[in-house]
Amino acid sequence: MIKPHGSDELNPLFVYDTEKHETLSKEAETLPSLLLSSSAAGNAVMLGAGYYNPLTGYMNVADAVSCAEKMMTTGGIFFPVPVLNLTEKADGFAVGDRIALRDPNVDGNPVLAVQTVTGIEDVTDEQMALMTDKVYRTDDMEHPGVAAFNAQGQVAVSGPIEVLNFSYFQSEFPDTFRTAVEIRNEIIEHGWKKIVAFQTRNPMHRAHEELCKMAMQAVNADGCVIHMLLGKLKPGDIPAPVRDASIRKMVELYFPPNSVMITGYGFDMLYAGPREAVLHALFRQNMGATHFIIGRDHAGVGDYYGAFDAQTIFDDEVPASALEIEIFNADHTAYSKKLNKVVMMRDVPDHTKDDFILLSGTRVREMLGNGEAPPPEFSRPEVAQILMDYYQSLD
């Protein structure tokens, strides 16, 4: 199996030992508390689940700035984005203290993790601006990732963490949320050697289904891990339970048995385009995938990124030895009326726009909201029905 990023073995920060977990939970109730931002809570979940291997906790400012500038910590660990615990103020504790990190996304704010504080630093406006520009390639506060990053505060609390739970993801998505550890174990149980990973924050239409099949065939994969984001999205995006149901129906009816794992991870979307694509590749390597599909405008939003910037960053900026996972670059996929199948547009240079069935996202949402199923060449009817039921429930 492919090695994790940065180490021979995966080192999740969740406390699996039952006795240690109980002791730590009791200790946490006696410690000073810090209510995390949603972004910092997501980072804790990803660290606990092993997705952010080999990091041991939240970065200090020097490492965060270095990752933003060079995709490398000051100690030489490749990492494409800063992993920070930003807050507006750090009162009631000092460097050297242990603190209880409380979950902002669960009622009662239970303890999510315990952190040993190795640094409390003010982040300057210039440093925030630099990180924003490098990671998001824009300083536009209309960009949802930029807005979320800059709303957390400018005090960085750094240091290693021990994670006690996985926030709401495990309880709300028990059939879907999986840690990197669990996915690796399941891959081993399947006996898969070559594994394609597919990232989604949306329901999967016919083109996405066929893209997974194309990638599996192209690399002769044993299986595919559909890995959906379960955290916070931007307004208007379809909720995770609806996406989950539609994807499960598609896999059940249109993929060979035991060829697909349907899983999810707990994190708030950054919408950082190219940088987030690299992050996605890194944590897919940590979960055991050997290949990762990156398509048009991967992890993008609006018009902030070029259609294939998330692919070219791997050639132009990511060092060749940084990651072992291989990237499967995908073009825009659509149903060809000429060939009666879904194709990648780059593979059919003889086609014109009229030869494809193309529907905008806005048009698809309108159709679903009106109880009108998109054509079967665009969306499987069983998937469309689940989405129609959701949109009509909004009225």
Superfamily of domain 174-265+271-393 in CATH is HUPs (3.40.50.620)
Residue ranges per structural domain of the chain: 18-167, 174-265+271-393
Terminal Cα-to-Cα distance of the chain (whole angstroms): 48
Place of tokens 């109980």: 22
Query: Which residues 6+ apart lie within 8 Å of 361 measured at CB?
Result: none
- Gap between the Cα atoms of 357 and 100, Å rounded: 53
Q: Burial code of 14-48, b = ≥16 C-beta within 10 A, e = fewer?
A: bbeeeeebeebbeebeebeebebbbbbbbbbbbbb
Active-site residue set: 201-202
Ramachandran class of 297: left when φ > 0, alpha when ψ lies in -120 to 50, beta otherwise: left
Fold matches, 18-167 and 174-265+271-393:
no
The sign of the dihedral angle between the CA atoms of 263, 265, 269, 272 is: negative
Ramachandran class of 46: left when φ > 0, alpha when ψ lies in -120 to 50, beta otherwise: alpha
The pairing of beta strand 291-294 with beta strand 326-329: parallel
- Output the pLDDT for position 394: 85
Quote the pTM value.
Answer: 0.95
Helix (H) or strand (E) holding 16: none
Beta strands in 231-273 (DSSP E): 260-265
- Output the pLDDT for position 84: 98
Beta strands in 230-354 (DSSP E): 260-265, 291-294, 326-329, 333-336, 341-344
Residues 311-329 have pLDDT tens digits of 999 999 999 999 999 999 9
Residues 27-58 have pLDDT tens digits of 999 999 999 999 999 999 999 999 999 999 99
- Gap between the Cα atoms of 332 and 343, Å rounded: 8
Q: For the chain, which ranges sit under pLDDT 50?
A: none
Q: CATH fold of 18-167, please?
A: Sulfate adenylyltransferase (3.10.400)
- Output the pLDDT for position 209: 95
